[in-house]
Amino acid sequence: QVQVVESGGGVVQPGTSLRLSCTAYGFTIRNYGMQWVRQAPGKGLEWVALIWSDGSKINYADSVRGRFTISRDKSINTLYLQMNSLRAEDTAVYYCARDLSFGSHEYWGQGTQVTVSS
């Protein structure tokens, strides 16, 4: 059964770092494009980052570029989102998702909560 499970969220102070993990079950992440999407409290969904299946292309939303890094460890079938220099506005539920085709996210996790607060 295809499933993705996020972990690593928590409460952190502004300026600190956090690494989110997304473990894939039922498929191999190297065969699929993967994305991170977030939803801030009371707001809509916001795309954060993507990585192509072959890893040749990676990109980020302007709001996180230079602070967040998407990566993957194929040996343990896990996608990561390294988040540095966190800000209050990064507070959100973070979802990882597997692509069906360009820009379409077929399988989503339940999300992991990140709260940035002093």
Partner 1 sequence: QSALTQPPSASGSPGQSVSISCTGTSSDIGTYDYVSWYQHHPGKAPKLMIYEVTKRPSGVPDRFSGSKSGNTASLTVSGLQAEDEADYYCTSYVRSNNIVIFGGGTKLTVL
Nearer to partner 1, 37 or 83 (CB): 37
Please report, as residue ranges, which positions from 3 to 42 form the binding site for partner 1 (by CB under 8 A). 35, 37
Give the whole-angstrom CA distance, residue 34 versus residue 70: 9
Least distance (Å) between residue 48 CB and partner 1: 9
Among positions 109, 112, 114, 116, the unique one binding partner 1 when judged by CB under 8 A: 109
Among positions 95, 112, 114, 116, the unique one binding partner 1 when judged by CB under 8 A: 95
44, 51 Cβ separation under 8 angstroms: no
The verdict on 89 binding partner 1 (CB under 8 A) reads: no
Please report, as residue ranges, which positions from 41 to 80 form the binding site for partner 1 (by CB under 8 A). 44-47, 50, 57, 59, 61-62
Beta strands 112-116 and 10-12: pairing type?
parallel
Q: Which amino acid is at 41?
A: P
| Residues at the interface with partner 1 (CB under 8 A) | 35, 37, 44-47, 50, 57, 59, 61-62, 95, 97, 100-106, 108-111
